[in-house]
Structure 1
């Protein structure tokens, strides 16, 4: 009898948990689908999600230079008539995110957490925008062993949010492949995994060096990084040649913790 009671309670708990999850998922989808997001550089021209590729090409990539200069990107989210604005400050020298709504980012927050899984979709992007106002991004991060559970959790969500924003604004500016995938995400409601692009986003310097050494720099590519050694965008053809030469055993620098395995995403 005791076992029967436990089973019944367990089944009821699972049902309630599943029901709650379904309700939460429906709520999130309804919230995101009822929202509109636009980007602008400062108070300049506004671009919606489906124009992300044009926004990056026209407003972010041309900023790349050899000196430290910051420029603001405005992300405006409007849901059911309620509008919120978040300002992401970027460094023109390398496209790094440096501030969120005027809050300077500590190095432990702005560094990619490679263990942190991230699904990039229109819905997730729209929902994560709210975290830009929810958390204080300039809070100093204690050493890992000294952090409370709540502090670890907060760092996790901050890093997840910045990882998403960085892919949308910075990685799409650095790499043509990232921009193409993101364009598909926002136009066709695709889902992609950040980890599929792990090798790409960790090889900007290496792929730029490859372009220099093979003398394949194009007129349409911008230069920056301090010594004009970083290029944007690194094109799909340049990455393809880079990977092929690495596979053929040619001696070029590359990020050793992740091989190029291709980009796998599908539209649902």
Structure 2
């Protein structure tokens, strides 16, 4: 049975199985590499203890497992990730091709409801359309990989799971696509201090990129700071990044 779920004007076809338990009856948990389980409401503890600490400069694979428990029934699937950069390489045993791994520019709302629909889609990932696979990957990557990379995303995802807030993916796109650039900037300015973890191959990738790093980066690029990209011999200017606005029940009620 299929239905259409609308987010911010975008219709995304999602698979809903007959008899699927209502979201209110279900709990969602995370575990990584056989670790203890964490409820998604404790996403900050999970990313600090189980994700960021796995970031290193080797190319080792590890798994993150999502678990859904509904009135005694349980479903689960795994993501395959790489310690070097926290990239998601596979979903539920399906290796991701390049056109799925690379983020599309399709509008997408980040929400608890969207996450729960993406969980269901991940269980049947091989049968999804290309567009469904791209949307599912974006949600799961935002929750797992990008939350580990950026403190601002960690705050957003925590608000999604604990306050039922909504965010627009496009309002974070410029931030998500500058992990390497901001890591280079933070290293060049000596801003990598505190509980920082390092990965990458040629460039040193830092996690987390904190709001302070983002603020200094925006100020510096506004004043002409240039980054060396790609061939490591050409400098390019950049633009300040935007951080997405939260749409939470409280401020939605006021609008």
TM-score by length of 2: 0.82
* Helix, strand or coil at the partner of 1:54: helix
Q: Could you tell which deviates more after superposition, 156-165 or 249-258? A: 249-258
Alignment of 1:229-240 (within 5 A): 229-240=204-215
Instruction: Mark the CA change 1:257 to 1:126 in structure 2 (over 3 Å): closer, same or farther.
Output: farther
- In 1, Cα distance between the equivalents of 2:150 and 2:188? 18
Q: How many Å apart are 1:251 and its aligned residue?
A: 2.6
| The structure with more radius of gyration | 1
Specify which of 145, 151, 172 is matched with residue 197 of structure 1: 172
1:105 matched to which residue of 2?
96
Q: What 5-or-longer segments of structure 1 have no aligned partner? A: 1-26, 138-152
More helix, by proportion: 1
The aligned residue for residue 248 of structure 2 is: 267
User: Taking CA–CA contacts closer than 8 Å with sequence separation of 6 or more, which of the two structures ends up with the larger relative contact order?
Assistant: 1
| Residue 223 (structure 2) aligned to one of 208, 226, 248 | 248
Pairwise mapping of residues 144-223 of structure 1 onto structure 2 (< 5 A)?
A: 154-223=129-198
1:64 equivalent in structure 2: 55
* Structure with greater proportional strand content: 2
Residue 124 of structure 1: which of 97, 114, 117 is its match? 114
- Taking the aligned partners of 1:188 and 1:242, their CA distance within structure 2 comes to 29
* TM-score normalized by the length of structure 1: 0.78
Q: Which runs of 4+ in 1 moved over 3 A?
A: 252-259
| Distance in 2 separating the partners of 1:53 and 1:258 | 29
Q: Aligned pair count?
A: 226
Farther off after superposition, 159-168 or 118-127: 118-127
Label 1:228 to 1:251 Cα distance change in 2 as closer, same or farther (>3 A).
closer
CA-CA distance at 1:111 after TM superposition = 1.1
- What is the distance in 1 between the residues matched to 2:76 and 2:24? 18
